[in-house]
Structure 1
Amino acid sequence: MNTIYDDTDFFNAYATMARSQKGLEAAGEWHQLKLLFPNLKGKSVLDLGCGYGWHCRYCVQKGAFKVLGIDASAKMIEQARKRNFDQAIEYKVCSIQNYAFPKNFWDFVISNLALHYVEDLEDIFEKIHGTLKPGGTFVLNIEHPVFTAGIDQDWTYGEDKKPKHWPIDNYFFSGPRQTHFLGSAVTKYHHTLTQILMGLIDNHFNLDAVIEARPPESMLYIASMKDELRRPMMLLVRATKKH
């Protein structure tokens, strides 16, 4: 599978990030995301784009009896098996688009920072709805449309080299956006807020929570975290499959 996360230089750069080294507690959005998780005792969980498997292990710790983590990157799955192994967790190299999505199978589906690599969100939302059991929960964290519509997904800098503004353009034109991330050229997909939220509603989900992620006070000593209060970077949503 062709994924930037299997490029050696990119993957090595990703491995230096705080969330890669320290896990969930180093993720600025985790204090809000974890509140969206349902009661997982005795539940089955599908993690779409599981990365290192941090969320998979958390779900097991919270009582899930079966967890499947899929990721298109073989390097990610290799790390997940090393770092977050558990007998209740299965890891599989598979893209979100190519997963079979068995009908009425999972109690909980989570996708964290993966769906902005997917072009056809409507198709994936429909498949997630189908694979959830009636009343099942879907929690997603996707890059915020203000972020994905950012020009080169970067700030405009002043003469002092400090961030001045976050410029956005072509907001209502969804589709591929070329950007630079961790020193590499990366293709992501921009989706408007309407496309994300109405995509869920149109595919028979109830919206339980919509949150624009912001870092906790405890992380504001980190210079880059203060800038995260100047524009939203991530959008967190909890949705429930209608019976």
Structure 2
Amino acid sequence: MSYYGSKFYDNDSNFENYMERRQGQENANDTLEKPVVWELLGDVSGMKILDLGCGDASFGIELFNKGCTEYIGIEGSHNMVQVAAKTLEGYNGMVIQTMIEDWEYPHESFHLVLSRLAIHYIQDIRSVFRRIHQTLKPNGKFIFSVEHPIITSTLQPSGTRTNWIVDNYFVDGYREQQWLGGTVHKYHRTIEDYFIALQEAGFIIEQLRESRPIRKNFISEETYERRLRIPLFLFLSGTRKK
């Protein structure tokens, strides 16, 4: 059975496999993706933050520990929402179960909107980016990460990749991937597509980053060398001006 986006994690087997994978040593999220996100975030003291596709909301706790004052997570997966609600107990945070595309974004409400590895599940990013722009306070930031377009252009079965074939790069749209024992649907678009969608929504684009590995984040030299071969993630940061 195949799944779109967050619904993939409502299959109990997929969910368990994912949670186990996230605990693995030197997983790509912690060694490559999270360090860049923190660099882009900077000081989050006093911020009200919206996290789109928040998963288990564990990153919300890290944000609180860095001075965030209010946190709202949006998550479509029932399994993830159950874990996230427990994670946020005792904090000024909450998780709302809905799809990113369906939530009613309140006007000028957040200092920061964050989305980590969720937007590649969304078909119509232009509409979502416009809603994100209007939910930010003036000078608010939108920071997101996605699987790098050279990855999504030609998805391959799970396991360690031995080649980095890039094909159909300029053919945007639906892709299907075998991952963690299940089938997940994603949407491929180019770096240019993401960039233009942000501009059209009204953002001033501040940074574009890729997941260049840093040696100190890795225990294994072999893993570090392998991560030098190709970027796994793309990051963009934009600001809503007054």
TM-score (norm 1): 0.89
- In structure 2, the CA distance between the partners of 1:144 and 1:202, relative to structure 1 (3 Å rule), is same
* Superposition CA RMSD, Å: 2.5
Percent identical: 29
What residue is the counterpart of 2:241 in the other structure? 242
What residue is the counterpart of 1:143 in the other structure? 147
TM-score (norm 2): 0.89
Match of 2:69 among 65, 68, 72: 65
Q: Which stretch shifts more, 51-60 or 7-16?
A: 51-60
What residue is the counterpart of 1:47 in the other structure? 51
- In structure 2, the CA distance between the partners of 1:91 and 1:163, relative to structure 1 (3 Å rule), is closer
- How many angstroms does 1:94 deviate by? 1.2
Counterpart AA for 2:53: G
Return 5+ residue gaps in structure 2 as ranges: none
Structure 2 residue 112 is matched with structure 1 residue 114: no
Structure 2 residue 21 is matched with structure 1 residue 17: yes
Match of 2:190 among 192, 198, 205: 192
Match of 2:104 among 73, 95, 100: 100
- In structure 2, the CA distance between the partners of 1:20 and 1:50, relative to structure 1 (3 Å rule), is farther
Q: Which stretch shifts more, 220-229 or 43-52?
A: 220-229
Counterpart-to-counterpart distance in 2, 1:19 and 1:226? 21
Asked if the contact 1:154/1:166 (under 8 Å) is kept, the reply is no
Structure of higher RCO (CA pairs closer than 8 Å, 6+ residues apart): 2
Structure 2 residue 208 is matched with structure 1 residue 210: yes
Match of 2:174 among 173, 176, 181: 176
The total of aligned residue pairs comes to 237
Q: Runs ≥4 in structure 1, deviation > 3 angstroms?
A: 18-27, 83-86, 222-226
Asked if the contact 1:136/1:241 (under 8 Å) is kept, the reply is yes
Q: Which stretch shifts more, 112-121 or 34-43?
A: 34-43
Cα shift readout 1:124-161 (whole Å, capped 9, x = no counterpart) = 11110010011001110111111100243679xxxxxx
SS in 1 for 2:32: coil
- In structure 2, the CA distance between the partners of 1:21 and 1:54, relative to structure 1 (3 Å rule), is farther
What residue is the counterpart of 1:201 in the other structure? 199
- In structure 2, the CA distance between the partners of 1:147 and 1:220, relative to structure 1 (3 Å rule), is farther
